[in-house]
Amino acid sequence: MIIGIESIGIYTARYVIDLGVLADARGVDPAKYYVGLGQEMMSIAPLNEDVVTLGANAARLALEKVAAREAIGTVIFATETGVDQSKAAGIYLHNLLGLGCNCRVVELKQACYSSTAALQFAAALVARQPEHKVLVVAADIARYGLGTAGEPTQGCGAVAMVVSSEPKLVELEPHSGMYTEDLMDFWRPNYREEALVDGKLSARMYISVLEKAFEDYRSRSGVEFKDIDEFCYHLPFTRMAEKAHARLARKFGGVVLRPEEAVAQIGHSLDYNRIIGNSYTAALYIGLASLLDNNEDDLAGRRIGFYSYGSGCVGEYFSGRIMEGYGEWLHTEHHREALAGRVNIGIEEYERLYREKLPTDGSEFITPKHRVGCYSLVGICDHKRIYESVGE
Ligand code: COA
């Protein structure tokens, strides 16, 4: 039996700001963001879009070509932008998508890493019950303070993947390399809306954990750097992945890559992130969708190495093989339409949207009606979030 990713759908928010506009407003050379961070734009969510609506839009797409939708027996929702301390965001999504009641739903958290835990747990469930399909959803809204160093590395997005014993896109290989260490490089206490981050430490740890997780992966799997054809990295910003790839190539492949060579090797996995920004748990797998959608070569049979990093910190390196005929199962046009359909905003609108907040005392509130995808957060009533399907 093989187990892997049967389908993938991605989604991002309604608005987008060009990082050149942000740079001008902050008195920064735009090249710092465009070249130094490797980012061009970041998606901005209005109040009526949250991780539930972003995730539901991605999942709607992921489920479109999936046979036997009733076989979805588990929904795992990975996020660090949880909407409730108790109730899983996935239950709202499960309802919006009209999934069957004989289904387990749970939410997972460990910074940007939990989507990978979700994928591995899903594969284990399918190994136990091969007729079972698992819907893995990862969605986040990355927020740092206005005017902080982290501000240009915001963004938001969602990815949904169906994991099953009928993978049409990627067969997951069984070996993983793992690394965990108690570290304060990025965290968000319950009383804060913006994360606290030691950005330089997080960037150093991203690379050092990559080396440790890869070492564990190669010793468990026997797979060497030279045996990997394509690479997907967690993407807080694209320059981070380019640097990490150059380090991996040097340390484990004995190859010294010039920056443009590193970009060429991982290039298409970066395309979507460069114009979406960081989407925390979703970023690595939006990178996978980007690689599959945008690479003009037939990638069938090629091995992909995945590096997942979540501050705090946990890292995992694992791999998969791209399936024959994967191209016909992709949603490339929908993905491109969602990205191209975003509305460009200026600095005043961005700051206004940033400052808009839901009430924190549970009082009745109707969210402003921004045109969004198929699902919208209508408001809050009696401390309860109200969602609706709105069509496109
Ligand atoms: N033209 C081209 N490049 C420029 C530049 C210019 N005018 N000005 C600066 N740069 C380069 C810098 O040299 C640096 O590249 P390098 O690291 O290869 O030397 C890059 O742009 C970023 O500049 P830096 O001064 O390091 O940025 P910063 O301190 O303002 O913030 C982060 C960068 C990533 C630390 C910050 O955005 C952050 O904290 N983000 C959130 C945390 C995060 O994403 N962590 C990643 C791991 S999970």
Nearest-CA residue for ligand 1 atom 39 is: 199
Nearest-CA residue for ligand 1 atom 31 is: 149
State the distance from the centre of ligand 1 to the C-alpha of 239, rounded, in angstroms: 9
Is 112 considered catalytic here?
yes
pLDDT in tens, the chain (392 residues): 999 999 999 999 999 999 999 999 999 999 999 999 999 999 999 999 999 999 999 999 999 989 888 899 999 999 999 999 999 999 999 999 999 999 999 999 999 999 999 999 999 999 999 999 999 999 999 999 999 999 999 999 999 999 999 999 999 999 999 999 999 999 999 998 888 999 999 999 999 999 999 999 999 999 999 999 999 999 999 999 999 999 999 999 999 998 888 888 998 999 999 999 999 999 999 999 999 999 999 999 999 999 999 999 999 999 999 999 999 999 999 999 999 999 999 999 999 999 999 998 888 999 989 889 999 999 999 999 999 998 76
Rounded CA-CA distance 8/28 in Å is 37
Cβ of residue 347 lying under 6 Å from some atom of ligand 1: no
Q: What is the DSSP string of 352-369?
A: HHHH----SS---EE---
The answer to whether the beta carbons of residues 357 and 194 sit under 8 Å apart is: no
Rounded CA-CA distance 389/381 in Å is 17
Say which amino acid occupies 81: T
Cβ of residue 149 lying under 6 Å from some atom of ligand 1: yes
Cβ of residue 246 lying under 6 Å from some atom of ligand 1: no
Cβ of residue 200 lying under 6 Å from some atom of ligand 1: yes
State the distance from the centre of ligand 1 to the C-alpha of 291, rounded, in angstroms: 24
| Catalytic one of 94, 151, 173, 234 | 234
Place of tokens 């927020």: 143
CA distances from 79 to 54, 185, 329 (A): 11, 18, 26
Select from 22, 37, 210 the residue to mutate for testing ligand 1; criterion: most ligand atoms less than 8 Å from CB. Answer: 37
Cβ of residue 199 lying under 6 Å from some atom of ligand 1: yes
The string of pLDDT tens digits covering residues 1-21 is: 999 999 999 999 999 999 999
- pTM of the entire predicted model: 0.97
Cβ of residue 29 lying under 6 Å from some atom of ligand 1: yes
Is 234 considered catalytic here?
yes
